[in-house]
A and B are shown apart, each in its own frame.
Chain A
Amino acid sequence: MSSHYEAPIRRPLIVGDKSYHDITVEVAAPVEGKANKLWWTAFTIALVAFLWGLGSIIYTIGTGIGVWGLNKTVGWAWDITNFVWWVGIGHAGTLISAVLLLFRQKWRMGINRSAEAMTIFSVVQAGLFPVIHMGRVWDAHFVLPIPNQFGSLWTNFNSPLLWDVFAISTYLSVSLVFWWTGLLPDFAMLRDRAVKPFQKKIYSLLSFGWTGRAKDWQRFEEVSLVLAGLATPLVLSVHTIVSFDFATSVIPGWHTTIFPPYFVAGAVFSGFAMVNTLLIIMRKVSNLEAYITKQHIELMNIVIMITGSIVGCAYITELFIAWYSGVEYEQYAFLNRATGPYWWAYLLMMSCNVFSPQFMWSKKLRQSITFSFIISIVVNIGMWFERFVIIVTSLHRDYLPSSWTMFSPTFVDIGIYVGTIGFFFVLFLLYARTFPVIAQAEVKSILKSSGENFKKLRDGNHE
């Protein structure tokens, strides 16, 4: 038992009297069972929203970007807001699977699979926006440096928008292989349990013939560690580069050096909130409360509280620096943000992102599942408004007062946004029914150190 020692002060990460086989059965249950009414209802709603969004996208492509609410002053609005929002949400998955792996945090194992799934699905949503904003979607491949008949006219590697192309595609593809490599042993588990021939076929295809040899596990662990080491700077670079889209411009309110760390903290903040939103529901619906415990939710709440406070610090720093810089344009941009026509958006952002996470200082509140769920939604709303505030309030009153204007979204803007939420949930709901949603192989490896029954057995011996 000595090799599985863990300090008694650490709370168990697997609740109940579980054996290895129990973990297998309980992780496989949602895949092997039938979907209930609730799943079908949620799936139908998500599918309808997705189809509405698809229609809006087709309408945009067919008619042109003019169907959006953009005007000559506000040339970027909901599209880029949604883009940054979705990319930000994606960050928590990588943070959980990579950064927490490097820090040897065992609590990542209950939640990393779903968090990574969320990452991939939300980066897919994010990627849609720049592509459809191109207008001529069929020329999308021109963002890649491929030889062409124009001489060759290459892409501009000085542009942050091109950095974004590289950052987002590297991020999406690396997250995907990280996720898939981790999935192999769990798909193999489903494959070896499958009774229906079709299921067996699908899962053997997906598991790449994983057999669990000692050498494979050794390589698997090394690959996971190195991928975590690569993904950690990658995830930080992605949102840094997203912030460069703004920070390298000369727009007051955007041209600030604080943007990269501030965006990264905001991304982690919103991402953890989304993980909480999804997992609080999933642990209940899929009966995984023993693996995604209250302890997991509490720890995520602490991350939300800390990153929310970092974001709050960044807001205040921005205001101070605007005043301290002595630059009138900069000062006006911030004054206008807080007290101009979009004051309500600013207030919403401040209260959702800075004020609401402070409740998590209270142990009672951060251990409450209902309260955590509410806060997670509030934070997601707040972070959407943060991007909206940064983007629209900096643009709508530019250097020429004669072109000052407001932005209002059209039904197409709203449709596309709602559509991506629908698309996200379509993917996530399908995932929840067909994938092993807990990294069961990894969870088994911590059962003896962090399982409630084993901890009791061991700690009892010390007394």
Chain B
Amino acid sequence: MSNKVVQAMYNDDDILMDAVKETRAANHHIEEVYTPFPVHGLDKAMGLKGTRLAITAFMYGCVGFSFAVWMMNYMMIEQWPQDIGGKPSMSFFLNMPAFVPIMFELSVFFAAHLMVITFYMRSRLWPFKEAENPDPRTTDDMFVMEVAVEGDEAALVSFLEKTGTVEIKVTEKH
């Protein structure tokens, strides 16, 4: 199978949105769209599924909360109970109010950091990662839609030329 794609460039987000809708309606497969800023509604227009990162954040938060409960119970109640200022460490529930701040902080700590790490892993972002945008202008003011070539290449190019593109390029994708 060929990995050929057509890269159609646009200089306006509204034109891009219309082009994405037209291309989808004409049953062409949009491989990828690169934009310099978040274009609202683009993910829906492309038919991307919603992201589940928020759900992971909730789960990580629960992990953080459980870790905080386990840690403070182990350290303050089980392993080395102390009598601090006449307030002995009798049971977890009697001491619990004093543990609330750290339970909260660790929930936030785990949720935030693990979610961001998940985001970086899923979107393949890390130091020394090479950028893969097809054109340096896509971080400035250019929008690129990559459409997979399936069948008639010339027909696809002429279809895309009518969508308001300013530049068009056929290229091999690895």
Q: Is the CB of A153 within 8 A of B139?
A: no
Q: Is the CB of B87 within 8 A of A158?
A: yes
With a cutoff of 8 Å between Cβ atoms, the chain B residues found around residue A16 in the complex are none
Q: Which of A167-214 contact B (CB under 8 A)?
A: 167, 170, 173-174, 177-178, 181, 184-185, 188-189, 191-193, 204-214
Nearest 6 CB-CB pairings of A with B: A209-B129, A20-B141, A192-B136, A154-B75, A208-B125, A444-B37
Give the interface segment out of B1-9, B39-47, B156-164.
B39-47
Nearest CB to that of B117 among chain A residues? Answer: A177
Interface centre among A177, A189, A212, A219 (most CB of B within 10 A): A212
Q: Which of B43-88 contact A (CB under 8 A)?
A: 43, 46, 48, 50-51, 53-54, 57, 61, 71-72, 75-76, 79-80, 82, 84, 87
| Separation of A162 and B98 alpha carbons in the complex (Å) | 11
Nearest CB to that of A238 among chain B residues? Answer: B105
Interface size on A, residues (CB 8 A): 69
Q: Is the CB of A170 within 8 A of B80?
A: no
Q: Is the CB of A170 within 8 A of B109?
A: yes
Q: Is the CB of A222 within 8 A of B51?
A: yes
Q: Which residue of the partner chain, among B51, B80, B109, contacts A218 with CB atoms under 8 Å?
A: B51
Known: A173-B113, A209-B125, A214-B32. A185 touches B42 (CB 8 A): no
Q: Is the CB of B128 within 8 A of A205?
A: yes
With a cutoff of 8 Å between Cβ atoms, the chain B residues found around residue A231 in the complex are 112
Known: A209-B132, A222-B54, A445-B38. A157 touches B76 (CB 8 A): yes
Does A35 lie at the interface of the complex (its beta carbon under 8 Å from any beta carbon of B)? no
Q: Is the CB of A192 within 8 A of B98?
A: no
Interface centre among A1, A154, A219 (most CB of B within 10 A): A219
Q: Is the CB of A214 within 8 A of B33?
A: yes
Q: Which residues of B contact A (CB under 8 A)?
A: 13-14, 32-43, 46, 48, 50-51, 53-54, 57, 61, 71-72, 75-76, 79-80, 82, 84, 87, 95, 98-99, 101-102, 104-106, 108-109, 111-113, 115-116, 119-120, 122-133, 136-141
Q: Is the CB of A226 within 8 A of B80?
A: no
With a cutoff of 8 Å between Cβ atoms, the chain A residues found around residue B79 in the complex are 152, 154
Does A230 lie at the interface of the complex (its beta carbon under 8 Å from any beta carbon of B)? yes
In the complex, besides A157-B76, A192-B136, 5 extra interface pairs with C-beta distance below 8 angstroms are A1-B14, A157-B75, A173-B113, A227-B112, A233-B104
With a cutoff of 8 Å between Cβ atoms, the chain A residues found around residue B98 in the complex are 157-158
Q: Is the CB of A152 within 8 A of B80?
A: yes
| Separation of A21 and B143 alpha carbons in the complex (Å) | 12
Q: Which residue of the partner chain, among A154, A163, A221, contacts B76 with CB atoms under 8 Å?
A: A154
Q: Is the CB of A217 within 8 A of B35?
A: yes
Nearest CB to that of A175 among chain B residues? Answer: B112
Known: A21-B140, A157-B102, A230-B108. A214 touches B42 (CB 8 A): yes
Q: Is the CB of A174 within 8 A of B113?
A: yes
B98 to chain A, nearest CB (A): 4
With a cutoff of 8 Å between Cβ atoms, the chain A residues found around residue B123 in the complex are 213, 215-216, 219-220
Known: A19-B141, A214-B43. A145 touches B125 (CB 8 A): no
Q: Which residue of the partner chain, among B40, B51, B108, B127, contacts A174 with CB atoms under 8 Å?
A: B108
Main secondary structure of the interface of A (DSSP, over half): helix
With a cutoff of 8 Å between Cβ atoms, the chain B residues found around residue A448 in the complex are 13-14
With a cutoff of 8 Å between Cβ atoms, the chain A residues found around residue B128 in the complex are 205, 209
Does A241 lie at the interface of the complex (its beta carbon under 8 Å from any beta carbon of B)? yes
Known: A214-B46, A441-B37. A166 touches B101 (CB 8 A): yes
B69 to chain A, nearest CB (A): 11
Q: Is the CB of B95 within 8 A of A213?
A: no
With a cutoff of 8 Å between Cβ atoms, the chain A residues found around residue B116 in the complex are 177, 181, 223, 227
Q: Is the CB of A145 within 8 A of B75?
A: yes
Q: Is the CB of A215 within 8 A of B109?
A: no
| Separation of A225 and B126 alpha carbons in the complex (Å) | 21
Q: Is the CB of A189 within 8 A of B131?
A: no
* A–B complex contacts, Cβ < 8 Å, 7 sampled: A155-B75, A167-B101, A181-B116, A192-B138, A215-B48, A217-B43, A219-B51
Q: Is the CB of A226 within 8 A of B57?
A: yes
| Separation of A24 and B37 alpha carbons in the complex (Å) | 11
Known: A181-B116, A441-B38. A244 touches B71 (CB 8 A): no
With a cutoff of 8 Å between Cβ atoms, the chain A residues found around residue B137 in the complex are 192
Q: Which residue of the partner chain, among B33, B129, B138, contacts A208 with CB atoms under 8 Å?
A: B129
Q: Is the CB of A205 within 8 A of B101?
A: no
Q: Is the CB of B133 within 8 A of A212?
A: yes
Nearest CB to that of B75 among chain A residues? Answer: A154
Q: Is the CB of A184 within 8 A of B125?
A: yes
| Separation of A208 and B82 alpha carbons in the complex (Å) | 47
Q: Which residue of the partner chain, among A167, A210, A226, A441, contacts B125 with CB atoms under 8 Å?
A: A210
With a cutoff of 8 Å between Cβ atoms, the chain A residues found around residue B109 in the complex are 166, 170, 173-174
With a cutoff of 8 Å between Cβ atoms, the chain A residues found around residue B14 in the complex are 1, 3, 448
Q: Is the CB of B75 within 8 A of A177?
A: no
Q: Which residue of the partner chain, among A20, A155, A184, A216, contacts B140 with CB atoms under 8 Å?
A: A20
| Separation of A156 and B72 alpha carbons in the complex (Å) | 9
Nearest CB to that of B80 among chain A residues? Answer: A154
A198 to chain B, nearest CB (A): 15
Q: Is the CB of B102 within 8 A of A205?
A: no
Does A237 lie at the interface of the complex (its beta carbon under 8 Å from any beta carbon of B)? yes
Does A234 lie at the interface of the complex (its beta carbon under 8 Å from any beta carbon of B)? yes
With a cutoff of 8 Å between Cβ atoms, the chain A residues found around residue B39 in the complex are 214, 217, 445
| Separation of A209 and B35 alpha carbons in the complex (Å) | 14
Q: Which of A1-60 contact B (CB under 8 A)?
A: 1, 3, 19-21, 24
| Separation of A174 and B108 alpha carbons in the complex (Å) | 8
B80 to chain A, nearest CB (A): 6
